[in-house]
DNA sequence: CATTATTGTGAGCAATAGCTCAGCTCTCTG
DNA sequence: CAGAGAGCTGAGCTATTGCTCACAATAATG
C-alpha cells in the first residue's frame, strides 16, 4: 500500500457540474464505506464500487486514500460549528436548560455521521495538517464552552478551563457511545442517559452544595 | 490478507521454559508494536522482528494476528480486576473518598498499557468470542460499581444502573484521554483533572442540592 | 550417544491493497 | 459539426500483507 503523494488537496478541480456530482458521490460513498468497514478495510475499490464510479475517477479528485478521509473530516468539522450559543438564556436558574442545549447539540451533530468519530480515533497516521485542523476546531469549541460558563451566573466551579474541557469531552464521548452502538438503542434509554448526563454536569457546575 | 483459521486458542502449548519465554517476548513486542502503529499497520512481521523471533515462531503460538490482540486484551482485562472494593469506608460523608478511589484505580489500570484501549476501539472486526469476553467483563465492573453505589448512604440518584454505567464510562474515557495523549502531561495537570472529575461525579451522586 | 520431541528459521506463496495510464466518451465552444 | 479539452474507464502494475512449510537447531529421554 504505497502512498507517495502525501498531498491532501484535490488532484483536479471540477469544471463541469457532472464532475462535481461524481466528486460528491465519491465522498458520500466513502462515508458509508468507512462507517461500515472502518478505515483500513474500507478500500478505495470498495468506495468506487459503491459510488458507481470507476477507480480511476476516484483518483482524479483525490490524490490518495487519506485525502478522502481528510475531506470527510473537514466537512464534518465545518458542519458542527456551534452557532446557537448567543441565543441562550443566561439568567439565573437556567443552568440545566443551558446544559441540555449543549447535550442536544452533541446529539444532533452525531446524527450526521455517527461512526466518523470512531474512525478518527482509529486512524493514528493522519497527516499533521489534518490533525492540526481538528485540534484547532476542538480548542475553538472548548473556548466557546468556557465563555458560556464564564457568562452564566449559576456556574460556580474552580477551574473554568478544565471544567470546559472535561464536560465537552464527557458529553461527546457519552453521546457517541450511545449512538454509535451496534444495536439501535431504544428511545427511552437515550432519554434516560441524556437526563442523567445533564444532571451530572449541571450539579457539577453549580458547585459545592 | 487471508485468515482462514479463526481460532483464538494457541496452536501449540509451550512445554519448555524456552518456549514460554519466546511466547512472552512475542506478546510484549506485539503490545509495543500495536501501540506504536495501530492494529492495521502493526504487521506480524514487525512484531516478530521486534521480538527478535522469526515469523514462523510467531505462528507456532498464535494461529493468526487476531489471536495476538485477543490474548493481549484478555490479559489486560484479567489484570484490571477491581479487588479493593470491599476495603472501602462506606459510612456517611465519605462519598468523595470513594469516588476518588474509583478514579485512582482507573489511573493505575491505564499505567499498564496506556494505548490498548484505543486499539480496542479501533478494531471493529474482533471475533465474537473476544467481544463477549470484553462485554462480560465490562458488565461485571458496572455491576460492582452499581453495588457500591447502592451500599453508600450518601448516594441519591434516580436510576442506579444508568448512573453506574455513566460514571464508569466517563471515568475510563477521561483518564484514557489524559494518559494516552501523545505528549506527556505535567503532573499538576493530571491532578487538576482528577480533582474536577472527582468533584463532578461526587456532586452528581449526592443528588439534587 | 542415539533417538525423539520440541522449538526455531526464513524464503516465499497467495491474496489483496493502493494506485497508474492509455485510451475511451461526453460536453462545450465557435 | 468538428475539434479540444474535461471527464471517465478498468485492466493491471507494484508493493505489502498474513501466513505456510520444508528444514535446521536445540533440548529431553533412555
CA B63 – CA A142 distance, rounded (Å):
46
Mean pLDDT to the nearest integer, A168-189: 81
Q: From the CA of A51, how many Å to the nearest CA of chain B?
A: 23
Rg, chain A, Cα only: 20
Residue A162 vs residues A32, A145, A202, B159: alpha-carbon distances, Å:
35, 11, 15, 28
A165 contacts on B by Cβ (under 8 Å): 193
Mean pLDDT across the stretch A127-142? 74
Greater pLDDT, A27 or A79: A27
Cβ neighbours of B181 (radius 10 Å)? 11
Q: Which three cell numbers stand for residue A139?
A: 480548542
Report in angstroms the alpha-carbon separations of B46 from A31, B60, B65, B193: 30, 16, 12, 36
- Helices within B80-159 (DSSP H only): 95-112, 116-122, 128-151
A125 contacts B38 by C-beta, under 8 angstroms = yes
Nucleotides of D under 7 A from a protein CB: 6-12, 14-22, 26-28
Query: Residues with Cβ < 8 Å from A39, sequence gap 6 or more?
Result: A69, A119, A122, A123, B40
Supply φ then ψ for residue B158, to 5 degrees.
-60, -75
Contact in structure between B3 and B70 (CB atoms under 8 Å): no
CB proximity list for A186: less than 8 A, separation 6 or greater: none
Please report residues contacting nucleic strand C, using a CB cutoff of 7 A.
Answer: A 1-5, 16-18, 41-45, 55-56, 59, 63-65; B 1-2, 12-16, 18-19, 21-22, 45, 53-57, 59-60
Judged by C1' against the alpha carbon of B5, the nearest nucleotide is: D19
CA torsion angle A40 A41 A45 A49 (round to 10) = -130
- pTM equals 0.77
Give the DSSP H or E segment for B125: none
Grid coordinates standing for B121? 476501539
B44 against A135, higher pLDDT? B44
Map residue B126 onto helix, strand or coil.
coil
**Among candidate residues A110, A100, A111, the one with its CA nearest the CA of residue A196:** A100
- The shortest CB-CB distance from B121 to any of A41, A122, A192 is to A122
Rounded to the nearest angstrom, the minimum Cα separation between A78 and chain B is: 23
Q: pLDDT by residue for chain B (209 residues), tens digit each?
A: 443 345 566 677 888 999 999 999 999 999 999 888 878 889 999 999 999 999 999 999 999 998 998 888 888 777 766 777 777 888 888 999 999 999 998 888 776 565 565 566 555 555 666 667 777 777 888 999 999 999 999 999 989 999 999 999 999 889 888 876 656 678 888 899 999 999 999 999 999 97
Is there a contact between B141 and B168 (Cβ–Cβ < 8 Å)? yes
Chain B residues lying within 8 Å of A204, measured CB to CB: 199-200, 203-204
pLDDT reported for residue A1 = 45
Gap between the Cα atoms of B113 and B3, Å rounded:
27
When the pLDDT of each residue in chain A is averaged and rounded to a whole number, the result is 83
Chain B residues with CB under 8 Å of a chain A CB are 37-41, 118, 121-125, 157-159, 162-163, 165-167, 169-170, 173-174, 177, 192-193, 195-197, 199-201, 203-204, 206-209
Q: For position A106, what pLDDT does the model report? A: 86
Write out chain B residues lying below 8 Å of A39, CB-based. 40
Cβ pairs A/B, distance under 8 A? 101
For chain A, the residue count is 209
Cβ neighbours of A193 in B, within 8 Å: 162, 165-166
For residue B23, CA distances in Å to A112, A202, B61, B72 come to 45, 50, 7, 12
Q: How far apart are CA A3 and CA A175, in angstroms?
A: 35
Comparing C-alpha atoms, which of B40, B144, B202, B54 is closest to residue A203? B202
Instruction: Return the higher-pLDDT residue of B124 and A150.
Output: A150
Q: In this prediction, what percent of chain A has a pLDDT beyond 90?
A: 44
Centroid of chain to Cα B20: 24
Nearest-CA residue relative to C1' of D26? B18
On whether the CB atoms of residues B5 and B64 are closer than 8 A, the answer is yes
Q: Give the Cα separation of B67 and B5 in Å (integer).
A: 10
Which pLDDT value is given to residue A184? 67
Say whether pLDDT at A73 is over 90.
no
List Cα–Cα distances, A166 to A43, A204, B175, in angstroms: 36, 11, 11
Amino acid at each position: 500500500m504505497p502512498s507517495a503523494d502525501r498531498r491532501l488537496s484535490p488532484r483536479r478541480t471540477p469544471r463541469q457540474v457532472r464532475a462535481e456530482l461524481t466528486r460528491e458521490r465519491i465522498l458520500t460513498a466513502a462515508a458509508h464505506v468507512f462507517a461500515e468497514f472502518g478505515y483500513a478495510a474500507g478500500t478505495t475499490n470498495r468506495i468506487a464500487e459503491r459510488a458507481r464510479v470507476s477507480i480511476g475517477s476516484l483518483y482524479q479528485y483525490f490524490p490518495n486514500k487519506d485525502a478522502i478521509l481528510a475531506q470527510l473530516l473537514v466537512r464534518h468539522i465545518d458542519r458542527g460549528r456551534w452557532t446557537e450559543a448567543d441565543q441562550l438564556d443566561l439568567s439565573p436558574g437556567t443552568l440545566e436548560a443551558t446544559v441540555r442545549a449543549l447535550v442536544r447539540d452533541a446529539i444532533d451533530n452525531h446524527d450526521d455521521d455517527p461512526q466518523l468519530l470512531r474512525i478518527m480515533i482509529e486512524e493514528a497516521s493522519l497527516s499533521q495538517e489534518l490533525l492540526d485542523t481538528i485540534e484547532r476546531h476542538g480548542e475553538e469549541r472548548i473556548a466557546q464552552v468556557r465563555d458560556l460558563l464564564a457568562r452564566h451566573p449559576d456556574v460556580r466551579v474552580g477551574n473554568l478551563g478544565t471544567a470546559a474541557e472535561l464536560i465537552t469531552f464527557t458529553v461527546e464521548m457519552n453521546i457517541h457511545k450511545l449512538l454509535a452502538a451496534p444495536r439501535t438503542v431504544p428511545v427511552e434509554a437515550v432519554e434516560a442517559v441524556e437526563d442523567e448526563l445533564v444532571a451530572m454536569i449541571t450539579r457539577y457546575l453549580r458547585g459545592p452544595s
